[in-house]
Structure 1
């Protein structure tokens, strides 16, 4: 039986998780806290195998709290539970010792699979986060306002000459920009570039 503790300030969510875990027959909830402060007071008594940790706690960032927990209780497996699906937040949580990452709208079986996986010492990323982390160009794509404008015009199917006329630059300059955008996003052609730009919400 896996001992699970939950730290989340959304009471409806924690109640739902408690029911889900209780019905699973593979885990049981040993404690619930609605803030980091409350969790600090009880963690040593609870001795959970897995800690479901909300990234957006009211009193401290879950990212920082994760690091603190891992320093004090290295054997506790932290499974991040959050509405945040930004690459940098996921990366920071994993860097600070989290063993897994769940989005709050994850399906019940995905939640239980996550608890089982991290308890067994594996890393678990729910489907949505797994896709996010595998995107090759998600590393650190930063586009200038001019590049975003250009990307939008490219996505509308305009040629270099048409774009040049519209934003008062030479076709040569536009060609250079386009080449740079392909490089930045790691796209092999314009069609892939547009697809990636839409997926990554760059336009």
Structure 2
């Protein structure tokens, strides 16, 4: 019953990874590998004329970022499941892939058994992470671990204006304060967020939904 077979493509620029994946999947009776591609462009061309149920997608490709390619694949073929397969274990990468429509994220240290289990999970409509990625995602980020700082009404105002790109002089003029007072508030904000500079403070404030 070849009609019921899942069509799978591999997009990875390392032949050894492609070979390894093919060997791992040889035991999966219901999966047919329809193609291996070393560039995103080649795969997008293939996808125009060939339906692909699931694609194992590397993030580091020679011609395009896998993160952008994921969005492109989902735009052209919404029914294709994209499983990221990467050496990148940064939480931000995982989130970017999911935001662009990926159904899951696997690290390349995955075993054959786990790979097949993750593919089946994705085909059943569930978000699928390899064991190592589940551990990464369950650890809170640094800013989530910190308590949300308690800010006064004035500090919140100044924080928002700093985030809007205003200088101390601009803020002083807008709020009818002396530049010295604004500077004092700015120092207090950096202290409360426990950061060294304004960029880190704004990033933390956004993560903690204060701006």
Q: Flag whether TM exceeds 0.5 (same fold).
A: yes
Aligned residue runs from structure 1 range 1-203, under 5 A? 1-138=5-142
Q: 1:45: Cα distance to partner?
A: 2.9
1:20-62 CA distances to partner (integer Å, 9 max, x unpaired)? 2122213110111110111111113331111100011111000
Q: Distance in 1 between matches of 2:140 and 2:114?
A: 24
| Runs of 4+ displaced beyond 6 Å | none
TM-score by length of structure 1 reads 0.67
Distance 1:19 1:46, change over 3 A: farther
Aligned counterparts of 1:9 and 1:137: Cα–Cα separation in 2:
31
Distance 1:9 1:134, change over 3 A: same
Task: List alignment gaps of at least 5 residues for structure 2.
Answer: 147-190, 196-211
Are the equivalent residues in 1 in contact too, given 2:9–2:54 (CA < 8 A)? yes
Can you give the 5+ residue segments of structure 1 that lack an aligned partner in the other structure? 143-176, 182-203
Q: TM-score under structure 2 normalisation?
A: 0.64
Larger of the two Rg values belongs to structure: 2
Distance change >3 Å, CA 67–CA 24, structure 1 → 2: same
Partner-residue secondary structure (3-state), 1:97:
coil
* Distance of 2:17 and 2:41 partners within structure 1: 19
Q: How big is the alpha-carbon RMSD for the aligned residues of Structure 1 and Structure 2?
A: 2.3
Once structures 1 and 2 are overlaid, which stretch shifts more, 12-21 or 95-104?
A: 12-21
Aligned length: 147
2-side partners of 1:73 and 1:12: how far apart? 28
SS class of match (1:121): coil
Answer whether contact 2:25 2:112 (CA < 8 A) is retained.
Answer: no
Q: Which moved more, 1:29-38 or 1:133-142?
A: 133-142
